[in-house]
Structure 1
Amino acid sequence: MTYYGQLIADRRARPGDDMVSALIAAEIDGQRLSDQDIGAVLLLLGVAGNESTTKILGNAWYQAAVHPGQRRIAFQPGRIGDWVEETLRCDSSGQMTARLVTSDVEWHDTVVPAGSRLLLIFAAANHDPRVFPNPEMFDLDRDTSRTLAFGTGPHFCLGASLARLEARIVLEELVAAVHEDYGVGTPVRVHHPNIHGLSSLPTTVKAR
């Protein structure tokens, strides 16, 4: 945030053709973003564009390793997209988000009053048996169209398409480079309230 603060100050003094300058110049109904607002956007883009994508790749590699039947499917032509989507549903790198309730809303016979802070655990929603049969099963043949890994509605993740593209490209290159029967050692997990993934996953592969 210290770096972002210096960057924002520099762009306020010397605007350029870049995103920070565009955020500084943005205006809606006479209101502009504060330095704190702009810093939060930059922090979000930096974390979401790096941490979540690398973690979903590790999770995909691990899930395929411990489900050899599904790994066989994942390594077949045209199935990388299914591998990515089922990982997003079953073992997403993002776990939850918080929201401020702006008006009274009723969910499942419970009224959540305006002003409440609500923690939405979308990783749990992706294991809802009313939506996904046998939700704990890693299954590349399932319908993942209702996955909430990237949110929904006006809060849908801005970088969802890029994250999916990055994940597909990396896995496509790995599948092209190594044989299906790779092995993994003991995974070391990251302990974080929201980011779910691995800090290391020892892997043994055989080049094609």
Structure 2
Amino acid sequence: MVSALIAAEIDGERLSDTDIRAVLLLLGVAGNESTTKILGNAWYQAARHPDQRNIAFQPGRIGDWVEETLRYDSSGQMTPRLVTRDVEWHGTVVPAGSRLLLIFAAANHDPRVFPVPDTFDLNRDTSKAIAFGTGAHFCLGAALARLETRIVLEELVAAVREDYDVGTPTRVHHPNIRGFRSLPTTIKPR
């Protein structure tokens, strides 16, 4: 990866050391933080919603558990953007050069898109959720994060009974990362 970044060229120019460090930091932090926080959020939300936990522990439902967690309680909350040209957004012109903070976690609770958005519901259509962004800014690691989350949850479901209990969690305090520093859990092995 590092060699590819060093060799990369955009319009005949190589990436600066600052750009390379930024990409490596992004991949290291995002790849580690987002998956671990998604896992904790999924485990916690299932514990808080036992009716949905019953669904999550059914065969073939881990994917629904992952996707609803990404919509309902995503580990990433927002992303900053620099507006490169004047753009009209919901009747307001945002001028070029403006800084914009896109809070996609709020978009995933938009009642125009998701009926009863503040309900954790594994039977919901999550196809319009944007936990990993969209378009040109879609997260490079989205597929890997989903795969890792699904595999860990599959292993947990196979190893423990669904009547686990969570104790008092400790949240991470960060403006963009939602998740837990610790999530004490009492389990019963299968």
TM-score interval (norm. to shorter): over 0.9
CA distance in 2, matches of 1:33, 1:156: 21
Which runs of at least 4 in structure 1 moved beyond 2 Å after TM superposition?
Answer: none
* Deviations, residues 60-111 of structure 1 (Å, cap 9, x unaligned): 0000001000000000000000000000000000000000001111111111
Selected match of 1:164 from 146, 155, 160: 146
CA distance in 2, matches of 1:176, 1:139: 22
CA distance in 1, matches of 2:43, 2:76: 17
The aligned amino acid for 1:42 is L
Q: How many residues align?
A: 190
1:183 has 2:165 as partner: yes
CA distance in 2, matches of 1:77, 1:143: 18
Report the alpha carbon displacement of residue 187 of structure 1 after superposing the two structures with TM.
Answer: 1.2
Aligned to 2:106: 124
Percent identity for Structure 1 against Structure 2: 85
Q: What are structure 2's unaligned runs of at least 5 residues?
A: none
The one of the two structures with greater contact order (alpha-carbon pairs below 8 A, sep at least 6) is 2
Report the alpha carbon displacement of residue 30 of structure 1 after superposing the two structures with TM.
Answer: 1.4
Q: Name the SS of the counterpart of 1:131 in structure 2.
A: coil
Report the alpha carbon displacement of residue 28 of structure 1 after superposing the two structures with TM.
Answer: 2.2
Whichever of the two has the greater Rg, that structure is 1
Aligned to 2:188: 206
Q: Name the SS of the counterpart of 1:119 in structure 2.
A: strand
Q: What are structure 1's unaligned runs of at least 5 residues?
A: 1-18
CA distance in 2, matches of 1:195, 1:28: 31
Q: Name the SS of the counterpart of 1:49 in structure 2.
A: helix
CA distance in 2, matches of 1:65, 1:163: 21
Q: Name the SS of the counterpart of 2:109 in structure 1.
A: coil
With normalisation by structure 1, the TM-score equals 0.91
CA distance in 2, matches of 1:96, 1:28: 27
Selected match of 1:152 from 134, 156, 178: 134
* Deviations, residues 6-26 of structure 1 (Å, cap 9, x unaligned): xxxxxxxxxxxxx11111111
Q: What are the equivalent positions in structure 2 for 1:93-112 lying under 5 Å apart? A: 93-112=75-94
The aligned amino acid for 1:77 is P
